[in-house]
Amino acid sequence: MSPAFEASLFGVPVDYSSAREPAFTSDGAVVKSKGDLGKLKMPDFWKSGLMTSAHRLYGDLESTVPKDYSVIFPKWARGPLGVACAIRGMQNMLMDMSLDAPFAHELMRFVTDARKEYTKSRRKFLGRTEVEGSLHNDEVCTPLISPEMYEDLCFPYEDELSEFCGGITWWHSCGSKTKLIPLIKKIRGSVEYMDLNLDNDDVLAAIKELDGKIPFHVRPTAEDIAETNEDIMRNHINGVLCMCGKENFMFRLDFFQPEDPTEEDAARLNRYISMAKRLSEEFIEKR
């Protein structure tokens, strides 16, 4: 349903384009003044935002695919801060966090409660309980927010959602999260894995801070993956393996997303996968 899914549930308009996935903009914020927060209602699991499309797509797929094929109904994935930024507008939300923390807490409380209600409705609709605690947290990164702001205004709600959902399956941010790891490790329940970006995170410092407590992904840049010089690619992959040592980690290659992919793009991706697999096996054998 795209990154606009959760925001749409609160009435934030979805911006469609033929060139990219559906998105939202700060112009569509529904809490333009602080008094607007009191006018918001909890999303309707059947009717709000993109829910009608979600139910229609789910029903169509369920009636089409083989019975042993599992169709996943959309999970609420974006973290509380990301949804709050969509509702309020990122600039306004960041200003609130700095100048009016009580109001920022009020908005984060509302968003967190809305996610819990959505999760209850989804479980009832599917007739089962499953871990639904992914946090897509691009807005949770330094220097956009400080570790102190994360501890006060984000961590309590992520911690609460982890307990409610049965853990965090994936703590994700495309931004730098190295300085936040001491707090992320304190989240109740388990964080199954998180990701580290070679272009944003201080990977060595992050690995040291994780101290084996949380498995992680290493995300090479698109340029790393598209490299055609095999010597450079080999040195790059071996460098990742040496940094990570004996830690529990995986290569995650979703930064490589060409807008108009070609057969050559597919070949480059397969070339990287093959080399990473071979060098990883050699690395493990040498240990």
- Give the architecture-level CATH label for domain 5-220: Alpha-Beta Barrel (3.20)
Torsion sign, CA atoms 195, 199, 201, 205: positive
**Residue 7 pLDDT greater than 90, yes or no:** yes
Break the chain into its structural domains and give their ranges.
5-220, 221-287
Q: How far is CA 279 from the centre of its chain?
A: 29
* Residue 82 identity: G
pLDDT band at 94 (very low <50, low <70, confident <90, very high): very high
Longest dimension (CA), the chain: 63
Going by pLDDT thresholds of 50, 70 and 90, the confidence category of residue 233 is very high
Residue-level pLDDT at 14: 95
Q: In what order do the strands lie in the sheet with 135-136?
A: 135-136, 171-172, 194-197, 216-219, 249-251
pLDDT value of position 21 = 86
To the nearest 10°, report the CA torsion of 83, 88, 91, 96. -100
* pLDDT (tens digit per residue) in 143-158: 999 999 999 999 999 9
Instruction: Report, as an integer, the average pLDDT of 201-222.
Output: 95
> Residue 190: which of 248, 139, 240, 237 has the closest Cα?
248
The DSSP output letter for 154 is I
Mean pLDDT to the nearest integer, 92-114: 98
In this predicted structure, the answer to whether residue 128 has a pLDDT above a threshold of 90 is no
The three-class DSSP label of residue 125 is: helix
Coil, strand or helix: which one is 191?
strand
Does residue 131 register a pLDDT over 80? no
Report d(CA 154, CA 37) in Å as an integer: 18
Q: Evaluate if residue 120 carries a pLDDT over 80.
A: yes
Q: Please give the model's pTM, rounded to 2 decimal places.
A: 0.91
Considering the chain, what is the average pLDDT of its residues?
94
Q: pLDDT band for position 132 (50/70/90)? A: confident
- pLDDT per residue as tens digits for the range 39-87: 999 999 999 999 999 999 999 999 999 989 989 999 999 999 999 999 9
